[in-house]
Chains A and B, each alone.
Chain A
Amino acid sequence: MTFLRHAVLRLIKALTVILSVVIANFFLIRLAPGDPAAIMAGEAGASDPEYVDRLREQFGLNEPLLTQLWLYLKGVVQFDWGYSYRMQVDVLHLIAERIPATLLLMGAAFIFSILLGILFGVLAASARHRPGRGWLDSVIVGISLLLYATPLFWLSLLAILLFSVQLGWLPAYGMETPGTDYAGLERAKDIALHLVLPTISLGSFYMAMYVRLARASVLEVIGMDYIKTARAKGVPWARVLRRHVLRNAMLPVITFSGIQLGQMAGGAVLTETVFGWPGIGRLMFDALLQRDYMLLLGVFLVTSTMVVVFNILTDIIYSFVDPRIGAGGQK
């Protein structure tokens, strides 16, 4: 019963958050100077105010602001998210087109960063703990610090220079080789090759974060009495790590992975731009520059929903990893 009540409350909270995000954004983007009609006329080199007025009327920008908001919210509920002014395509359709690429890159970067991050973090901590291996700890910490501090776009460009231009191993841009008719496995391989560089570039920063988090919390747990007991019992080191240390050290990593997913859902604008990846980040960025209100609101709606969903998922995972944290939030 309490679980059900908790779930309902949680849902209401989530919906309120999303609604506030939409309403706040609705007004925020209108604070930016220039509207889509003026921009489109400007780009076309039109010197005809009548034309701009016509566009405004066509986009419904003449209506009072509150009426526009009401119409928009009504539409959202009915899954009519409006038209992109510029592209004259349904907003839902445009977003749906970009979601697979976004999820693919997000998923790949997430798995890449969390797996390698934990691996190297634990490796570093355990090396520090064992005599004669301290150098490994220093190397891992050093590299992760470097990755943590390097700007993403610079890393991406260097990766392109090395792997695409110099070595010619990997494609420099896009998600698929344009102008080809690959299907099935061949297509999957083509996409996988295109995925490598963006994944590494996007994932490296987060990987460095995980290395540091995992290392710190493993070191903390290793000092606990129960670990000493396990060691004293004669349990092999690898098994101590796996059974006793890791599980207890993972909470901060999970917290951060929730944050990471939320951040990446907002679109990896830089990575997508440098690698020409057709994700949602670029869609949003272009829509912002063009003041394509409807499209921008649609993207915000999707990404804020994703962030809320990831947060809920993180909470659920907490309670599995550490049963002391109940679903009801009681400790």
Chain B
Amino acid sequence: MKIFQTRRGALRLTAAALAISLGATGAMAQTKGGTLNTIVQPEPPLLVLGLNQQSPTQYVASKIYEGLLTYDPDLAPQPGLAKSWETSEDGLTYTFTLQDGVTWHDGEKFSSADVVFSVDKYLRQVHPRVRPILNTYLESVTAPDDQTVVFKLKSPFAPFIQLFGTDNMTIVPAHIYEGTEFATNPQNQHPIGTGPFMFESWERGSAITLVKNPNYWKDGLPYLDKIVFSIIPDSASRAVAFEQGQIDVLRGTDVDPVDVSRLENLDGVEETTKGTEMYSTITSMIMNERELPFSNKQVRQAISYALDRDFMVQTIFFGIGKPATGPISSTLPFYDGDVPKYDYDLDKARELIKESGVDLSAHPVKILDYPYGSTWARLAEYVSQQLKQIGFTVDIEATDAGGWAQRVGNFDFDTTFHFSDQFGDPAIGVSRLFVTSNIVKGSPFANNAGYSNPEVDEIFAKAASSTSREDRQELYTEAQKILVDDAANIYLFENQNVTLYKDSVHNLITSGVGTNSNFETVYIDDAK
């Protein structure tokens, strides 16, 4: 099997070539220059990907660093620092050919040695999500010459090709990090990448400024001169800043849902929900299934019937979101909506509780509040109210982010909510919440519910190592049916992240990672 380009990718390249040749005659198309004003919220602790993977870090650092590949909205791989790649028949060897003439922001030459160092030394050690995958599957990564990198796997891992984006396999400069303590390297305060924008300044508490990389390896790009990420800690003030026009781009998570619907109706404001395909975040209610009442399948099913997902999305989240049908988001590959349905039905829920024989009054439960703002508190209140209607005794416990992580990580909870990113493939972002081997203490995004089903374990293991797309689809369809029927978690809704921007801003969302792409083709009309 040889993949040089997917067909869509080839088409895209042709389109790009056309655009470039047209651009030569009609320079109207893109305005060069200008400053894009946006908000990073909350302030990131650090801008070095790998060492920190939080969403604000990704937003800023994705303009500075690059990976070997990028992904289109259908999550098909596109060239990044690698211009072409091929996978061996057995799915064990991946060979990448790198772009020519790439330099780091400090002027050093980029080469295959940087890639080998980044993957083998740096990411294997520091990356919170990728390191376990690399340590499990990666046999070796080598550089036969300056332009070529070869990855050899111990056993096939189908979604491996999804892992080469900037956020997962960030390529960092070997000449800066080799032989140092990565976490305390002083250069962390002045990140050096290969991307279209270079770090200029960070006034803590105020703003982060990036400037155009004049030596970027794609000729003529980027269009913008500068990107300023303002740090505005109050949600209402962020909404005002956008309303006043001081901010060009507002990410949906920057303001309360109630403000989104108001701001998107302003004149000259565009909105999109695209660009979250790679994350395909799902909000679930997770229950501690080690003991009653949640160890009982019928009780869990009853809860699923007792919650009106449309109400949640429409009333609590102001229409931002989409009811979920199962553990895999509808924007992720291998999604299958043909699963058991839980249409809102309180009578059915009560009946199931009766059938289960569990005496709910003997098992009062506490909902641990998900500490990410008042909207989530409303969700907890709604769920509490619904559970009471089918016979539960419910209390809500408040906590903060630290307390939440500690309690959930140590299985010290009855039930709570979380939203969890799925990272382009069920083997990366979904199975971790359900397989028995991931019932481990210490991390809040493992299988904290304690759900254990040997059949599911086997299906997920098979699907991860299979190289046939059809086989994988069959396996994941089966897994979705079981996980929905078992109500392993209560899948509530797919989070939609709205991006709001002024209509003078173009090409903002072009890939499956949305605003976490590198903004190389973003331009502003009438830029000064």
**Interface residue ranges, A against B (CB under 8 Å):** 32-35, 38-53, 58, 83-84, 86-89, 94, 97-98, 101, 157, 160-161, 164-165, 168, 172-176, 178-179, 272-279, 282-283, 286, 289-291
Contacts and interface: CB of A to CB of B under 8 A. Distances in A.
Contact of B402 (A34, A50, A161): A34
A173 B234 CA distance: 9
Contact of A48 (B42, B128, B237): B128
A289 B441 contact: no
A168 B244 CA distance: 9
B443 A178 contact: no
B440 interface: yes
Given A46-B445, A279-B205, A282-B205, A39 B228 contact: no
A246 B78 CA distance: 77
A88 B438 contact: no
Given A44-B53, A101-B205, A172 B183 contact: no
Nearest to B240: A172
Contacts of A160: 236-237, 240
Contacts of B244: 164-165, 168, 172
Contacts of B421: 45
A320 B403 CA distance: 50
Nearest to B188: A88
A101 to B, nearest CB: 7
B205 A278 contact: yes
B256 to A, nearest CB: 13
Nearest to B45: A86
Contact of B183 (A51, A88, A282, A291): A88
Interface of B: 35, 37, 42-43, 45-46, 51-54, 128-129, 131-132, 183-184, 188-189, 203-207, 209, 226, 228, 230-234, 236-237, 240-241, 243-244, 246, 399-409, 420-421, 432, 438, 440-446
Contact of A51 (B131, B189, B240, B404): B131
A173 B203 contact: no
A174 B232 contact: yes
Nearest to B133: A48
A286 B129 contact: no
A49 B443 contact: yes
Nearest to A58: B183
B131 A33 contact: no
Given A178-B37, A179-B207, A291-B402, A48 B443 contact: yes
A277 B204 CA distance: 10
Given A58-B183, A174-B230, A276-B206, A290 B402 contact: yes
A236 to B, nearest CB: 49
A277 B446 CA distance: 37
A83 B406 contact: no
A299 to B, nearest CB: 13
Contacts of B441: 49
A289 B420 CA distance: 21
A46 B129 contact: yes
B429 to A, nearest CB: 8
A83 B186 CA distance: 12
Nearest to B42: A286
Nearest to B230: A178
Given A41-B409, A46-B53, A168-B244, 20 more contacts: A33-B402, A33-B406, A34-B405, A41-B405, A41-B443, A42-B404, A45-B128, A47-B432, A52-B442, A84-B45, A87-B45, A97-B204, A98-B205, A164-B244, A165-B244, A172-B246, A178-B206, A178-B209, A179-B228, A283-B205
B35 A179 contact: yes
Task: Report which residue of A38, A49, A175, A279 has the largest number of chain B beta carbons within 10 angstroms of its beta carbon.
Answer: A38
Contacts of A47: 129, 132, 432, 438, 440, 443, 445-446
